[in-house]
Chain A
Amino acid sequence: MVKQNSMKKAFVKLASCLCLVASVTSATAGEKIDYTKMSSQQLAEHLIFNSDGFKLDKPVQEGGTARERLVQDELQKSCSVVGNATIPADTSVKVMTMARNSYRYPEGGIKLGDWKIGRELAWSGYGFRAGHKNDDHSTTKYGPGGNCYNCHQLATDRTGGSIGPALTGYGKARGTSDAILKYTYEVIYNPHAYFPCTHMPRIGAKKLLTEEQISHVMAYLFDPESPVNK
């Protein structure tokens, strides 16, 4: 049994060497693009954009087509490293600067909204999903959600994720000084000024939540009545 298997393997190896020759000839005949002539990076880009790999022409909620979602911006390019390699220091500095430059603050200052709406938004993972089931933002009461619970433990009445740190007792522990409100707004708007290349989305900068929605989510973090602080 064992012997047979290894014989089979040897045969397969031999066969695959023979095909190798065949593939090179057919590639030089110019019928097909030869993937082996590209760098991995080039091939990945080719597979994403030029090989019917994704349904690129579908409309998406923010307008335009799904194709644009796969085009990387500067931050996404800088923060895409293979494996567990650390981000080089100069990249971190660049990413932090870009984040600081992205900040836009609400007119009239950072305010806390309604923690009850904030709770709904923090819990909701609805919105912006595209493809086989496109989320329709007009069907939900508060629009697309913030996905916070997917990654964070917030109040203890619901199980949150652990990709981000637990935010339980956030306002109680940190108070509501202008500095902490500003910090929190900025982290939600674009966390990369504090955590370069973090996995947390740029919730304000990418318009996943509006300024008003962010004020509700912040109320959920800070309001003494919010279950987060009970």
Chain B
Amino acid sequence: MKKPILLALSFLMTATVANAASDYEDMAPEEILEALIDKTGSTYLNQSPQNRQMMPDNPAYWLVDEGEELFHQARGPKNVSLDGCDFGKGPGVLEGAYVELPRYFADTGQVMDLEARLAHCMVTLQGFDKKDPSVKKRHGSKSDFMKLQTYIATQSNGMKWNPPLDHPLEKAMRDAGEIMFYRRSGPMDFSCKACHGSTGKRIRASVLPNINEPDEWTKAISWPAERAGQQNVRSTQHRLRGCLWQMRHPQIVGGSDASIALISYWTDAARGQPAILPDLKR
């Protein structure tokens, strides 16, 4: 159990936050958020003091612990752990892996996000069938997949988003994602920009993050996050699907190149800013 330790740490550290603001790697998620609020005054970041208070006890930490166990357990038809899975920084290297996704993987010839890569390893390494619930059930705090994702992603807390763009495919996907972000269509003529292109605008009471403000956008893309309103830990792909649903666009296919292109663009937009993991959102 990490929670009590984190809590204690956070009390000890509050005093040093102000001068350590340039380096977020040793800070708890709520401290990173606090530092970003101090720096930016963003109403999006600042919109829910109640949620911030809950962050030291974020229910997502349960998933981190369960995910850690699952990760190292021998599982699947081949009865091996995920320690051999390469998330881009070498087999089993999780620290800082998530902030450098999506990225190009030579073994598949594709640009993959965390979900796609995790599913790939569960199938190829552990031998799970694609349709096995362990691989197929992607949403909800009770799913293996959410637990694994939350554990892996949390190993990048406080690190700076730095998705590689060296490979031409990475660049191509990011640039196509940018076009998609601004592309209007559907019954309501929406593009993502309608809601995420300016600062401090609201849909009803929800303050919306602006993709042009990296130090605000970093929280927007910090998933997995507990969604207090849904009492479930949610993923990047789940957020994307939700916004498209509100837009009255067709359902996006999780793990598709279309989804990864959008995620490549949105991650690039937060480059250099610290990830807040796990996060807690409204």
Those of B146-177 within 8 Å (CB) of chain A: 164, 166-169, 171-173, 175-177
Task: List which A26-48 residues lie within 8 A (CB) of chain B.
Answer: 26, 32, 35-36, 38, 40-41, 43-44, 47-48
| Residues A151 and B203 in contact in the complex (CB < 8 Å), given A16-B167, A36-B168, A130-B248 | yes
For the complex formed, measure the closest distance between the CB of A128 and the CB atoms of chain B, giving whole angstroms. Answer: 5
Whether the Cβ atoms of B187 and A208 lie closer than 8 Å is yes
Q: Is the CB of B169 within 8 A of A23?
A: yes
Q: Which residues of B contact A12 (CB under 8 A)?
A: 88-89, 164
Q: Which of A64-72, A110-118, A176-184, A210-218 contacts B (4 or more CB under 8 A)?
A: A64-72
In this complex, the interface size class of chain A, counting residues with CB under 8 Å from chain B, is: 35 or more
A70 close to B185 (CB less than 8 A): yes
Total cross-chain contacts (CB, 8 A): 181
Query: B97-139 interface mask toward A, CB cutoff 8 Å, 1 = contact, 0 = none?
Result: 0000000101001000000000000000000000000000000
Interface flags, A177-207, vs B, CB<8A=1, else 0: 0000000000000000000000101100010
A43, A130, A163: which contacts B194 (Cβ < 8 A)?
Answer: A163
With A and B bound together, what is the CA distance between A82 and B164 in angstroms? 22
Residues B186 and A69 in contact, CB atoms below 8 Å apart: yes
Q: Which of B168-222 contact A (CB under 8 A)?
A: 168-169, 171-173, 175-180, 182-191, 193-195, 197, 200-205, 212
Whether B183 and A55, one on each chain, are in contact in the complex, defined by CB atoms closer than 8 angstroms, is: no
Is there an interface contact between A53 and B257, defined as CB atoms closer than 8 Å?
Answer: yes
| Known contacts A40-B178, A53-B258, A71-B185; A19 and B191 CB within 8 A of each other | no
B186 touches A58 (CB 8 A): no
Q: Are A208 and B188 in contact (CB under 8 A)?
A: yes
Binds B, one of A101-109, A154-162, A167-175, A222-230: A154-162
Q: Does A138 contact B (CB under 8 A)?
A: no
> Are A159 and B172 within 8 A (Cβ)?
no
Residues of A within 8 A of B63 (CB): none
Please tell me which one of the listed residues A13, A44, A147 contacts residue B166 in the complex, with CB atoms under 8 A apart: A13
Proximity bits, B30-68, A CB within 8 Å = 1, else 0: 000000000000000000000000000000000000000
Residues of A within 8 A of B73 (CB): none
Report A-chain residues with C-beta under 8 Å of the C-beta of B191.
80
A98 proximal to B (CB < 8 A): no
Contact call B202/A40, Cβ cutoff below 8 A: no
Chain B residues, Cβ within 8 Å of A100: none
- Point out the residue from B203, B244, B259 that lies within 8 Å of A131, measured CB to CB: B244
- Asked if A124 is at the interface (CB within 8 A of a chain B CB), the reply is no
CA distance A76 to B166 in the complex (A): 33
Other-chain residue from A40, A54, A58, A163 in contact with B258 (beta carbon distance below 8 A): A54
**A84 lies within 8 A of chain B by Cβ:** yes
Contacts A53-B256, A131-B245: A47 and B189 contacting too (C-beta < 8 A)?
Answer: no
Least Cβ–Cβ distance between B94 and chain A, in angstroms: 13
Q: Which residues of B lie under 8 Å from residue A199 when comparing CB positions?
A: 189-190, 193-194
CA distance A45 to B104 in the complex (A): 21
In the complex, whether B13 has a CB less than 8 A from a CB of chain A is: no
B248 touches A69 (CB 8 A): yes
- B26 CB to closest chain A CB (Å) equals 12
Contacts of B249 in A (CB 8 A): 54, 66, 69-70, 130-131
Bound state CA distance, A133 and B248, in angstroms? 11
For the complex, count residues of B whose C-beta is within 8 A of A: 57
In angstroms, Cα B202 to Cα A71, docked, is 28
Q: B201 contacts A162, CB within 8 Å?
A: yes
- With both beta carbons as reference points, the residue of chain B lying nearest to A58 in the complex is identified as B250
- A137 interface residue (CB < 8 Å to B): no
Q: Is A83 engaged at the interface, CB distance under 8 Å to the other chain?
A: yes
A90 part of interface (Cβ distance < 8 Å)? no
Q: Are B184 and A79 in contact (CB under 8 A)?
A: yes
Q: List 29 A-B contacts (CB under 8 A).
A: A16-B104, A16-B166, A16-B167, A20-B168, A22-B106, A22-B109, A23-B167, A23-B168, A36-B171, A44-B177, A44-B180, A48-B180, A53-B256, A54-B249, A55-B250, A55-B251, A69-B186, A70-B249, A84-B197, A130-B248, A130-B250, A130-B251, A149-B204, A151-B203, A161-B201, A162-B202, A199-B194, A206-B187, A206-B188
- Chain A interface residues (CB < 8 Å from chain B): 5, 8, 12-13, 15-20, 22-23, 26, 32, 35-36, 38, 40-41, 43-44, 47-48, 51-56, 58, 62, 66-67, 69-72, 75-76, 79-84, 128-133, 147, 149-151, 159-163, 199, 201-202, 206, 208
Q: What is the interface of chain B, defined by CB distance below 8 A to chain A?
A: 88-90, 96, 104, 106, 109, 164, 166-169, 171-173, 175-180, 182-191, 193-195, 197, 200-205, 212, 241, 244-246, 248-253, 256-259, 261
